[in-house]
Amino acid sequence: MNSVEIGRSTAVELARLVRDKDVSPVEVTEVVLQRMETLEPHLHAFCTPTPELAREQARRVEQAIMRGDEVGPLAGVPLGIKDLVSTAGIRTAGGSMAYRDFVPAEDDVVVERLGAAGAITIGKTNVPEFGYSGVGHNPVFETTRNPWNTELTPGGSSSGSGAAVAAGLGPVAVGSDGGGSVRIPAALCGIFGMKPSMGRVPLYPGCRDERYPGFSSWESLEHIGPLSRTVADAALMLSVMAGPDPRDRHSIPCADVHWLDAIAEDVRGLRVALSLDWGYAAVAPEVRSVVSAAATVFEGLGCSVELRDPGWDDPYLAFWGAVAQDSDLAGMRALLPEHAAQMTPHLVDFLQRPWTAEELTAARTARQALSNTMWRFMQDVDLVLTPTVCVPAFPVHMQGPEKVDGRIVPPPAATVALTSPINLTGQPAASVPAGFTAGGLPVGMQIIGGHLADRTVLAASAAFEAAAPWSGRWPGLLDELGL
């Protein structure tokens, strides 16, 4: 295989080639590191590359294979890890000047598991500050760019992970999703991303460290999930990442999900609801059109598709109330006297807001009501389809458009309006590439399953991919650079 073929291979393909000794994990790693040298000046997907660690890990995998040892299912596969996920001995700055020198003492559970499976860590991927945005800029590092148009955002908060996978800087990456942060960059970068059910993939330690107050996960909202070019690659990652761990009190058994088998399941007979805006969101007409056309693919797969909205009120304010409840407000507010002038302005505003008990309890009550409405809605349907993001990718250094389809909206709503309700319910959801705008920008379609129905979401995603494949289309930037 030549370097371009290696760089554009899937994780499933690379793992097989490495196991069969058709390609060396050292060679694969060097190809990806060379691609990083070429592409990073354009994309800035990685805030902390780890080339020497990657080479060391690749050599260990190669030596194990040559000895005839059993190796893990991801042996030799290059992997990016989101810079909100704890990595022992590797800087985890979280896009904040307050954390620019923070080096965690322990790995997150998923980092442990992926490393044990033989994955090669090529670096930490960039994020907005503490993950409080659906975009790719922060006060510390260069702004992450969208491979399809480097003047535009890749989305966020798993911004670097999305851009990296879309550009072939490793076939897979780890993301986390507290309001859409896996699904948003998947949609805007034209790749696959999945938020498994709450508790499927354990989250620990969430970068908690007594030396650095305030840096923590959103315990009731955040899901760890894969970003990949194919559904099969995501299933392979989930087969390693998922499963209970006593360090996460929300973790649940996964015996009912055989991730790699799920992608071969038949979806005929599934009842599908299509909501283009939840009944209230401002969505760009071109996004509506692309997703409407993509939804008809499920009719061809033997599913029934009906245009229906679940009927809840806009939970935008309730979502941010839930974020406030999950945030370490005391710890983060303690950072303000020293660091406020160097922090993202909207984050400072969020932290300085005098949240009242009434606001927080109202948010909790609204969350319960939304979850009950969704539960009742899902009694009649197996899947819900929506656009993933209200708009295509937009220019960097903004939180989102203030005007969408002729309506004034809070800028973050353009990114999180369609995804964040599913963080409030904890259901599984994925974003699949649905098509492209007339200007050549990717549009994502969100596929939502019922409570703990991860298997159905994966099966539906794989069936859609087989009917409307996307992985063969790459950003023009790669061809321009000979990659």
**Using alpha carbons only, what angle is made at residue 328 by residues 400 and 321, rounded to the nearest 5 degrees?**
50
Would you call 225 helix, strand, or coil by DSSP?
A: strand
Would you call 400 helix, strand, or coil by DSSP?
A: coil
User: Catalytic residue among 96, 161, 181, 251, which?
Assistant: 181
7 — phi, psi (to 5°)? -65, -25
Q: What is the dihedral of CA 220, 222, 226, 231, to 10 degrees?
A: 60
Q: What is the dihedral of CA 57, 141, 161, 452, to 10 degrees?
A: 110
Q: Residue ranges of the alpha helices (H) in 133-284?
A: 159-166, 183-189, 231-241, 259-262
Token pair listed for 26: 């050292």
Q: Which is it for the CA torsion 383, 414, 138, 349, positive or negative?
A: negative
- Establish whether 82 is a catalytic residue: yes
* Burial track 187-211 (b if 16+ CB lie within 10 A, e otherwise): bbbbbbbbbbbbbbbbbbbbbbbee
Token pair listed for 168: 């072939």
User: What are residue 81's DSSP bridge partners?
Assistant: 124, 174
User: Catalytic residue among 24, 133, 157, 161, which?
Assistant: 157
Q: How far apart are CA 151 and CA 43, in angstroms?
A: 10
User: Catalytic residue among 82, 124, 133, 216, which?
Assistant: 82
Token pair listed for 129: 């500050």
The answer to whether residues 33 and 51 touch, using CB atoms and an 8 Å cutoff, is: yes
The answer to whether residues 267 and 460 touch, using CB atoms and an 8 Å cutoff, is: yes
Catalytic residues: 82, 157, 181
